[in-house]
Amino acid sequence: MTIDWNAEIRAQIEDHWTRQLRPHLAGLTDDEYLWEPVEGMWTVRPADGGFVADFAIPPPEPAPVTTIGWRLGHLIFLLDSGLERFGHPAVDFATYRYPETAERALHRLDDAYRAWSHGVEELSVDDLAAAAGTPGDALADWSTLSIVLHTQRELIHHGAEITLLRDLFRARPLGDCP
């Protein structure tokens, strides 16, 4: 049997995107996007003409709970930063600006996912097997396939967390803020 590895890889994430993740993001409100149900959450905040994501290096232990806005921003940044391998401009974490509203986040997520998915579609089996980085950089031991699979795991993992936060927001006690 001949297997089209690229098609199989894309089918997995496309099924998740179209049947699970994206439908569960429909109707996301700004209240949900920035909801902080517990103290000390990381979120996206206004700064220098845009929104930035909370972070620390090294990250605290245990890691803070993050808002839907932070998680969506993380996914958008992950996809945007991965586009460099498909000929798009590099993005810089230090100057990256995150969406300020739920609507804008969903628009940017859709755009980034579409571009990333198109880039993955163009990869051959040899491209998937190629080294993702150059000797000495952080991705030196990664293949392009490893990057693609990692990105898909992140979309599935954080997408599930976002869906759970939406469920908790919807089920919160009446009178709970906001």
The pLDDT value given to residue 140: 79
Asked if residues 148 and 9 have their Cβ atoms less than 8 Å apart, the reply is yes
Calpha distance 97→103 (Å, rounded): 15
CATH architecture entry for 20-171: Up-down Bundle (1.20)
Q: CB-based contacts of 151: which residues, under 8 Å, 6+ apart? A: 78, 79, 82, 116
The string of pLDDT tens digits covering residues 137-158 is 887 789 999 999 999 999 999 9
The string of pLDDT tens digits covering residues 75-117 is 999 999 999 989 999 999 888 999 999 999 999 999 999 999 9
133 dihedral zone (left: phi>0; alpha: psi -120 to 50; beta): beta
